[in-house]
């Protein structure tokens, strides 16, 4: 089986690296195409990937085409790919918003998987949700899930609505975590810590809290109660967040990403 990755950016290259370690593929069975010269140079330095500049040189040989370009590049890309496609090939798209029906119409082929990964895939800690068109067989889906899980975990969802929803939770989610980290680091700096100490204090607090959560059956609320003593410092912080409706604001932000994913699907 041969996989072609189109778009060697943050996610495309990460997936190419992940898939190259997958038992479903041999390293040399990954082709990568990117239009940027800088990316082509970068791919050229990785001896086990075959880099390409032209669709005609790689699309015909691909069984699975992994599309990792920005949603606004999809239309032109699909138009250019169409002459080299047939119904034996599977497209896996990780583009936010771009719908299965839209991709079927644009490419003229039926086997489409729509997936939503996230950036921790870079360190093998990603979570990718996916859904496929009915034309993708069970055995093909087994391979697809294996490839998607090569960068962390993969879950199959029941409809595209949940791909847009997971964009709002896990796809964009790492940025929400970084937002919180940034604010805490700025507070630490304002309290007089050095940049390095601020970084260690915040980073280890996140790692430790997530590890506690992962190693237990307790909800985040229960863990909050365990940190907060009555009349103590944590209660002061949590009350301040509640007074400022921080929880509602975080939910609003997640829905803003969800709604934007739906909107992207209507325009691409
Ligand atoms: N970043 C993230 O955390 C996540 C991203 N996604 C999705 O992944 C996709 C890729 O995002 P990301 O990796 O961040 O994007 P990047 O911009 O890092 O990478 C995209 C790459 O594709 C290249 N490119 C553009 N058009 C073409 C084309 N026609 N053929 C080949 N290569 C092309 C770009 O070149 P150039 O720079 O010259 O345009 C760029 O090198 C997006 O659709 C996004 O919605 C999904 C989940 C998480
Ligand atoms: O911001 C974006 O549109 C992409 C999709 C999810 C994460 N990054």
- Per-residue pLDDT tens digits for 195-222: 999 999 999 999 999 999 999 999 999 9
Q: Which fold has domain 3-158?
A: Rossmann fold (3.40.50)
Q: Residue 95 in contact with residue 74, Cβ under 8 Å?
A: yes
What pLDDT is recorded for position 190? 98
CB proximity list for 15: less than 8 A, separation 6 or greater: 5, 66, 68, 94, 117, 121, 147, 150, 151
3-158 and 173-264 agree in CATH topology? no
Q: Residue 114 in contact with residue 98, Cβ under 8 Å?
A: yes
Q: What percentage of the chain reaches a pLDDT higher than 70? A: 99
Residues framing ligand 1 (Cβ under 6 A): 6-12, 33-36, 39, 68-71, 73, 77, 94-96, 116-119, 171
What pLDDT is recorded for position 47? 84
Is residue 23 very low, low, confident or very high in pLDDT (cuts 50, 70, 90)? confident
Going from the Cα of 177 to the center of ligand 2, the distance in angstroms, rounded, reads 14
Q: Residue 249 in contact with residue 242, Cβ under 8 Å?
A: no
Ligand lying closest to the C-alpha of residue 128:
1
- Per-residue pLDDT tens digits for 98-153: 999 999 999 999 999 999 999 999 999 999 999 999 999 999 999 999 999 999 99
198 Cβ inside 6 Å of ligand 2:
no
Structure-block tokens of residue 171: 């796809």
Residue 76 has pLDDT above 90, yes or no: yes
What pLDDT is recorded for position 59? 98
Residue 265 has pLDDT above 90, yes or no: no
Q: Which one of 126, 167, 262 would you pick to mutate in the ligand 2 pocket, going by the greatest count of ligand atoms within 8 A of its CB?
A: 167
What pLDDT is recorded for position 102? 96
ipTM above 0.90, yes or no: yes
Is residue 27 very low, low, confident or very high in pLDDT (cuts 50, 70, 90)? low
Q: Residue 121 in contact with residue 151, Cβ under 8 Å?
A: yes
Q: Residue 169 in contact with residue 27, Cβ under 8 Å?
A: no
Q: Residue 114 in contact with residue 163, Cβ under 8 Å?
A: yes
Residue 66 CA to residue 22 CA, distance in Å, equals 15
Domain boundaries along the sequence of the chain:
3-158, 173-264
- The dotted CATH code for 173-264 is 1.10.3730.10
Instruction: Look over the chain and give the mean of its residue pLDDT values, rounded to a whole number.
Output: 96
Q: Which one of 176, 257, 264 would you pick to mutate in the ligand 2 pocket, going by the greatest count of ligand atoms within 8 A of its CB?
A: 257
Element (H, E) at 4: strand 3-6
What pLDDT is recorded for position 67? 98
């Amino acid at each position: 089986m041969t996989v072609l990755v189109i778009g060697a950016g943050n996610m495309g290259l990460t997936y190419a690296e992940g898939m190259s370690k997958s038992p479903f593929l041999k390293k040399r069975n990954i082709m990568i195409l990117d239009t940027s010269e800088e990316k082509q140079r970068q791919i050229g330095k990785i001896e086990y990937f075959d880099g390409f500049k032209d669709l005609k040189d790689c699309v015909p040989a691909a069984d699975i085409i992994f599309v990792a370009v920005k949603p606004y590049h999809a239309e032109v890309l699909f138009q250019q790919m169409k002459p080299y496609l047939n119904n034996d090939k599977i497209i896996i798209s990780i583009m936010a918003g771009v719908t299965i029906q839209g991709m079927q119409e644009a490419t003229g082929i039926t086997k489409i998987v729509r997936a939503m990964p996230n950036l921790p895939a870079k360190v093998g800690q990603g979570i990718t949700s996916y859904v496929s068109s009915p034309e993708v067989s069970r055995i093909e889906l087994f391979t697809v899930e294996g490839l998607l899980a090569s960068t962390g975990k993969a879950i199959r969802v029941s409809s595209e609505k949940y791909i847009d929803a997971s964009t709002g939770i896990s796809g964009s989610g790492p940025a929400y975590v970084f937002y919180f980290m940034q604010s805490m680091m700025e507070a630490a700096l304002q309290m007089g810590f050095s940049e390095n100490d601020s970084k260690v204090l915040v980073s280890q607090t996140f790692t430790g809290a997530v590890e506690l959560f992962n190693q237990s059956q307790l909800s985040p609320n229960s863990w909050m109660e365990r940190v907060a003593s009555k009349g103590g410092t944590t209660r002061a912080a949590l009350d301040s967040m509640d007074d400022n409706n921080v929880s509602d604001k975080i939910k609003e932000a997640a829905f803003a990403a969800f709604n934007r994913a739906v909107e992207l699907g209507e325009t691409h």
